[in-house]
Chain A
């Protein structure tokens, strides 16, 4: 099977999954307490105003009619209009997605670097202080809620030391041209180094928070799998040829240790997104996560549904990319 048809198959297989997600979120939203009309108008609005608004929003139709209307819209690529802002949900998601992407990419890089190097070195020095430190670190950070950890970092680095901003993404107006929406990239493309530093200062705390929490899982996986591989003959054989530690550890042990890790890395990315929702809220990061939380507060059904579907699609895309990278690392993988 070629790569192209593999990707196509994966996307087709993802469609039923997205559909189920859509059904669940649609009905779940209508089961939980809270009325979108009241959330917008407030409890003291006159009854006829409420009824009129309900009619405008189409919420007076039978629920199945609402559902099929929505389904029709989704399959024609229309995620509806936000009941709160009256803007198309797709537009709003487009505006906010780069912020989330930037945050998750940096968090992912931080998690990967900590997990990879600390995990590999711990495995090499099993049961030595570095390894014990890694185990304590990963248990602590795995059990700490991400928002609490974020608050603590805020308290230390923003409130006491005043090294970094408490939250937000950029002071006010960007000093560089926004092309991709990924400010780090935009600043580099404009050659605006002062702007880049500013962007990084805002990005630092949220991405470190999310990255460190995610790294706890990576660290454990890399360490445990590498310990397993290090006990195998291929490592002894590599050493028996006189190879240096760097080659033995990273070129042979970690490379093989990553094979099983790749299969669960996609799922880890899903939990990274879940963490992003909390991180964004903690740091007022204007991404999709904080958007979702705000929309839930106002019972903005189309926006919530749209965001969830978007998350679903995003995870599908990421897991396909990870599968492709996996195939590059492990030649045994066939599509």
Chain B
């Protein structure tokens, strides 16, 4: 499973994404380092508002215009943070494809499927004829398990799972290196979820693409991801291979997160949760952002931001693992 030797297709270096609200900037992503290698799937997990979706949309710079990007975000060795809209358009769809959470709202319901594909293909291959586009569309629809003749229909005529298949086909039609899947199965029922995840995984293999899978569902990442990055309040607090995260979590947040997965054991029906709520990202605390909810909190946690420590093949951002801390 370890794919530490593959070529890096995406690399975030101290990436910060601050977006503007009426009065202030929200530091939704506040200094993250992440490397995605060819053919690899990284799962980004965290609770709502931790910045995972901002990161996903930030890769394509889909956030509102006044959003500020600091640090570096290398997409196939090109730093996209300074790119303007017109240059960004060449990256979107072509280098990075994106799949959204709710296919009911992310596909224009009143534009025919074949037209959605045509306008996408035409944008990146000017001069392609409608018939050529249809041929390409037929092939990709076949791959995602939709009868090609349905391309003449409108998205509103498809079921949720089928729409998500169309969405996936649309994200893959230009053969991008990276697919950002933002909660791709959250709005689907469990059986369709599994189908969609399998489909994504098959397609990743046949296209040799890499996937950034953004989700709050630990079951979904368990199924698909090679590596997992746990986000909390704008930081990646821990990242490692999937097995390490699940069986030997380091960061207190990861531990508590894993404990709070509901199970079907009738003897253990009590739901576990993490008391408290994440800090405001407008003025985040100076120390560790998880400190206020952390059962292992030390005095240093409130005073200084914890460093990123390399440990056990992965990384953790916690004072517990720094040398000289002898509390644990």
Contacts and interface: CB of A to CB of B under 8 A. Distances in A.
Given A240-B93, A242-B90, A242-B123, A329 B105 contact: no
Nearest to A259: B110
B110 A329 contact: yes
Interface stretch (B95-103, B132-140, B296-304): B95-103
Contacts of B35: none
B106 A233 contact: yes
B106 A243 contact: no
Interface in B107-146: 107-111, 119-120, 123-124
A247 B105 CA distance: 18
Interface in B69-105: 85, 89-94, 97-98, 100-102, 105
A331 B91 CA distance: 32
Nearest to B180: A240
B123 A331 contact: no
Interface string A229-244: 0001110111111111
Contacts of B89: 242-244
Main secondary structure of the interface of A (DSSP, over half): helix
Contacts of A256: 108-110
A243 B110 contact: no
B170 interface: yes
Given A240-B62, A241-B170, A242-B89, A247 B119 contact: yes
A252 B108 contact: yes
Contacts of A330: 110
A335 B119 CA distance: 30
Interface in B254-293: none
Contact of B120 (A233, A243, A259): A243
A278 B296 CA distance: 78
B25 interface: no
Interface of B: 57, 60, 62, 85, 89-94, 97-98, 100-102, 105-111, 119-120, 123-124, 154, 156, 167, 170-171, 174
9 contacts: A233-B102, A237-B107, A240-B92, A240-B93, A240-B98, A242-B91, A243-B89, A251-B111, A256-B108
